[in-house]
Structure 1
Amino acid sequence: MKHLRHLNKYFYKYKWWIIPGIIFVVISNIFGVIPAQVIGYAFDLITENIQIYMLFNGFNRQQIIYDIFSNSLLYFGLLVIALYLLRGLFLFFMRQTIILMSRHIEFDMKNDIYNHYQELSLGFYRRNNTGDLMARATEDVNRVRMYVGPAIMYTANTLVLSVLIIYSMFDVNTRLAIYCLAPLPLLVIIIYYVNTVIFKKSGKIQERLSELSSFVQERFSGIRIIKSYVREDYTRTMFEIQSNEYKKDSMSLVKVSALFYPTMLLLIGLSTILTIYIGGIQVMNGSITAGNIAEFIIYINQLTFPVTMLGWVTSLIQRAAASQKRINEFLEISSDIQSTNETEREINGNIVFKKVNFTYPDTGIQALKDVSFEINSGEFVAIIGKTGSGKSTLANLIMRMYDVEQGEIDIDGSNIKGLNLKNYRSQIGFVPQEVFLFSDTIKNNIAFGLDQTTDEEVHLAAKNASVYSNIMDFEERFETMLGERGITLSGGQKQRVSIARALIKSPKILIFDDCLSAVDTKTEEEILQNLGKIMHGKTSILIAHRISTIKNADKILVLDNGSIIEQGTHNELLNLNGTYTELYNNQLLEEESRSI
Structure 2
Amino acid sequence: MKELRYLNKYLKKYWLKLFLGIIITIIARIFSLVMPSYVNKSIKAVEDFVGNSLSSEEAKSVLLEYILIIIGAALLSALFTFLMRQTIINVSRYIEYDLKNEVFDHYQLLSLNFYKRNRIGDLMNRISEDVGQVRMYAGPAIMYGIQTLTLFACLIPLMFIKAPTLAFYTLTPLPILSILIYQISKVIHKRSTKVQEFLSTLSTFTQESFSGVAVIKAYGLEGKINSELEDLAIEGKDTSMALAKVNAWFFPLMILLIGISNIFVIYIGGRQYINGQIESIGLIAEFILYVNMLTWPVAVVGWLTSIVQRAEASQKRINEFLKQVPSIKNEVVKNTPIKGKIEFKNVSFTYEDTNIEALKNVSFTIEAGQSVAFLGKTGSGKSTILDLVARLYDVTKGEIKIDDIPLQKLNLDSLRSSIGAVPQDAFLFSDTIANNIRFGNEEASQDQIELVAKKAVVHDNIIGFTKGYDTVLGERGITLSGGQKQRVSIARALMKDPIVYLFDDCLSAVDTETEEEILTNLQQESNSKTTLIVSHRVSSAKNADKIIVLEDGKILQEGTHAQLNNSEGYYKELYQDQLSDKD
User: Which TM-score band applies after superposition, normalised by the shorter structure?
Assistant: over 0.9
Correspondence 1:181-580 to 2 at 5 A: 181-289=171-279, 290-580=281-571
Cα deviation code 1:498-544 (max 9, x no counterpart): 11111122221111101111111111111111111111132111111
Residue 586 of structure 1: how far off its partner (Å): 4.4
CA distance in 2, matches of 1:40, 1:205: 48
Structure 1 CA distance for aligned equivalents of residues 230 and 576 of structure 2:
53
Q: Provide the rounded CA distance (Å) in 1 between the counterparts of 2:436 and 2:130.
A: 31
The one-letter code of the counterpart of 2:254 is M
Please name the residue that 1:58 is paired with.
none
TM-score (norm 1): 0.94
Supply the distance in 1 between the matched residues of 2:146 and 2:183 (Cα, whole angstroms).
Answer: 22
Contact 2:331 2:408 in 1 (8 A): no
Equivalent position of 2:18 in the other structure: 18
SS at match of 1:449: coil
List per-residue Cα deviations over 1:214-252 (Å, max 9, x = no partner). 111111112211222222222222222212212211111
CA deviations over 1:95-123 (Å, ceiling 9, x no partner)? 11111221222222222222222222222
Retained in 1: the 8 A contact 2:44–2:282?
yes
Letter of the 1:4 counterpart: L
1:34 has 2:34 as partner:
yes
Q: Is the 8 A contact 2:250 2:299 kept in 1?
A: no
Name the SS of the counterpart of 1:504 in structure 2: helix
TM-score by length of 2: 0.96
C-alpha deviation, 1:588, in angstroms: 4.9
Question: Which residue of the partner structure matches residue 140 of structure 1?
Answer: 130
Report the alpha carbon displacement of residue 74 of structure 1 after superposing the two structures with TM: 2.8
For 1:43, give the aligned amino acid. I
The one-letter amino acid of 2:266's match is I
Cα distance between partner residues in 2 of 1:330 and 1:41: 59
Report deviation, 1:45: 2.8
Distance in 1, matches of 2:471 and 2:38, equals 71
Whole-angstrom CA distance in 2 between matches of 1:478 and 1:293: 76
Query: What do the CA deviations read for 1:346-393 (whole angstroms, capped 9, x no partner)?
Result: 322111111112122222222222221211222221111111221111
Measure the CA separation in 1 of the matches of 2:556 and 2:522. 27
CA distance in 2 between counterparts of 1:246 and 1:132 reads 15
Is the CA contact 2:348–2:398 (under 8 Å) kept in the aligned structure 1? yes
CA–CA separation in structure 2 for the residues paired with 1:346 and 1:458: 26
Q: Distance in 2 between matches of 1:87 and 1:95?
A: 12
Q: Counterpart of 1:158?
A: 148
What is the alpha-carbon root mean square deviation over aligned residues? 1.8
Q: Per the alignment, in what secondary structure is the counterpart of residue 547 of structure 2?
A: strand
Matched residue SS, 2:394: coil
What secondary structure does 2:249 align onto? helix
The aligned residue for residue 8 of structure 2 is 8
Q: Shift of the alpha carbon at 1:412?
A: 0.8
* Identical residues among aligned pairs (%): 52
Structure 2, unmatched stretches of 5+, are none
Cα separation, 2, equivalents of 1:41 and 1:368 = 89
**Aligned partners of 2:383, 2:487: CA distance in 1, in Å?**
19
Q: Which amino acid aligns with 2:197?
A: E
Q: Distance in 1 between matches of 2:356 and 2:238?
A: 39
Amino acid paired to 1:181 = L
DSSP 3-state at the match of 1:145: helix
* Partner in structure 2 of residue 81 of structure 1: 71
Q: Does 1:108 align with 2:128?
A: no
Partner Cα distance (2:192, 2:428) in 1: 37
In the alignment, the residues of structure 1 paired with residue 181 and residue 224 of structure 2 have an alpha-carbon distance, to the nearest angstrom, of 43
Please give the alpha-carbon distance, in whole angstroms, between the structure 1 residues aligned to 2:551 and 2:183. 61
Aligned to 1:56: none
Partners of 2:346 and 2:487 in 1: CA distance: 34
Between the aligned partners of 2:466 and 2:67, the Cα distance in structure 1 is 73
1:390-449 CA-to-partner distances (Å, cap 9, x unmatched) read: 111111101000111211100010001111111111111111010111122211111212
| Alignment length (residue pairs) | 582
SS of the counterpart of 1:356? strand
Q: Identify the match of residue 98 of structure 1 among 67, 72, 88.
A: 88
Distance 1:243 1:366 in 2: 41
Q: Matched residues in 1 for 2:60 and 2:420: separation?
A: 88
Mapped partners of 2:347, 2:179: distance in 1 = 62
Specify the code of the residue in structure 2 equivalent to 1:398. V
Separation of aligned partners in 2, 1:71 and 1:419: 84
Matches within 5 A, 1:44-83: 44-52=44-52, 65-83=55-73
| Whole-angstrom distance in 2 between the partners of 1:509 and 1:560 | 24
Report the Cα distance in structure 2 between the residues aligned to 1:556 and 1:577, rounded to whole angstroms.
15
For residues 457-515 of structure 1, give each alpha carbon's deviation from its aligned partner in whole angstroms, at most 9, with x where no partner exists: 21221121111222222232222222222222211111111111111222211111011
* Separation (CA, whole Å) in 2 of partners of 1:357 and 1:95: 59
SS at match of 2:359: strand
Contact 2:344 2:400 in 1 (8 A): yes
Structure 1: 5+ residue runs without aligned partners? 54-63
1:258-301 deviation line (CA, Å, top 9, x unaligned): 11221122111112222222223322332223222222211111
CA distance in structure 1 between the partners assigned to 2:41 and 2:438 by the alignment: 76
Q: Where does residue 57 of structure 1 map in the other structure?
A: none
Give the secondary-structure state (helix, strand or coil) at the position aligned to 1:125: helix
Q: Shift of residue 548 of structure 1?
A: 2.7
Find the counterpart in structure 2 of residue 61 from structure 1. none
Deviation at 1:337, TM superposition (A): 0.9
Q: SS of 1:52's equivalent?
A: coil
How many angstroms apart in 2 are the aligned matches of 1:516 and 1:116? 33
- Checking the alignment, whether the CA contact within 8 Å between 2:121 and 2:204 is kept in structure 1 is yes
1:301-345: CA deviation from partner (whole Å, max 9, x where unpaired): 110110011111111111111111111111222221111323324
* CA shift for structure 1 position 549: 2.2
- The amino acid that maps onto 1:86 is L
CA distance in 2, matches of 1:579, 1:496: 29
Local SS of the residue matching 2:496: coil
Aligned-partner Cα distance in 2 for 1:501–1:323: 38
1:240 and 1:159 mapped to 2: Cα distance? 45
| Offset, 1:577 | 2.3
Counterpart-to-counterpart distance in 1, 2:406 and 2:216: 46
Whether the 8 Å CA contact 2:438–2:492 is kept in 1: the answer is yes
